[in-house]
Amino acid sequence: MNTTTIVIIVVAVVVLLILALVLLPRQRARAREQKRVQAQAHLQESQELSAKAESARAEADEQAARVRREKAEAELRAAEGEREAQQRLAEADRQRSEADSLREKAARLDPRLRDEGVKQNRHVDVRRDANVHPRDGDLNGQGTNLNRDGQPDGPR
């Protein structure tokens, strides 16, 4: 190999090294810029998802609060209904007691009214412990009819 060829090869290698030293940092800068842009995109997407999650969380909290409030209102209405029913039961008991007292007074004043009162009141039979109307009979479905004296007539 002659000297000119070696010089040309050395010059070519030096030029390639210079080009590599100039172009390599630019390439790295572009790669860093792309990574930075990608990181910003991920950060922005993260912030959007975080905002959506926070909004969904707030809506869920509001819904839970609304459900708790509605439940409390329903419980309050149920308690009020129960209280009213208890008051009605107490009033009915008071009226029943008053009616019994008046019936006893009437019987003391005129014993003949006692027999008529029993005949007239034989259809009144309040059964609080069983969900059965007097004419429907007992809970096991046997049922009873009353004869003219107010006594059970036997199974239906």
Domain housing 95: 3-110
Phi-psi region of 124 (alpha: psi -120 to 50; beta: other; left: phi over 0): beta
Q: Do the beta carbons of residue 145 and residue 153 sit within 8 Å?
A: yes
- Measure the CA–CA gap between 42 and 44, rounded to whole angstroms: 5
Distances (CA, A) of 12 to 2, 15, 22, 97: 16, 5, 15, 124
Tell me what pLDDT residue 112 has. Answer: 80
> Is the model more confident about 117 or about 6?
6
- Rounded to a whole number of angstroms, the distance between the first and last alpha carbons of the chain is 133
- Measure the CA–CA gap between 63 and 85, rounded to whole angstroms: 32
- Reported as a single tens digit per residue, the pLDDT across 44-70 is 999 999 999 999 999 999 999 999 999
Asked, for residue 32, whether it belongs to a domain, the answer is yes
pLDDT at 144 over 90: no
- Mean pLDDT value across the chain: 82
In the chain, the amino acid numbered 63 is: Q
Asked, for residue 46, whether it belongs to a domain, the answer is yes
Asked, for residue 153, whether it belongs to a domain, the answer is no
Number of domains in the chain: 1
Distances (CA, A) of 28 to 16, 19, 21, 41, 116: 18, 14, 11, 20, 115
What phi and psi values does residue 131 have, to the nearest 5 degrees?
Answer: -85, 60
Tell me what pLDDT residue 145 has. Answer: 55
- Reported as a single tens digit per residue, the pLDDT across 94-108 is 999 999 999 998 888
- Measure the CA–CA gap between 51 and 57, rounded to whole angstroms: 10
Asked, for residue 71, whether it belongs to a domain, the answer is yes
- Reported as a single tens digit per residue, the pLDDT across 21-39 is 888 888 999 999 999 999 9
Tell me what pLDDT residue 137 has. Answer: 47
What pTM, to 2 d.p., does this model score? 0.43
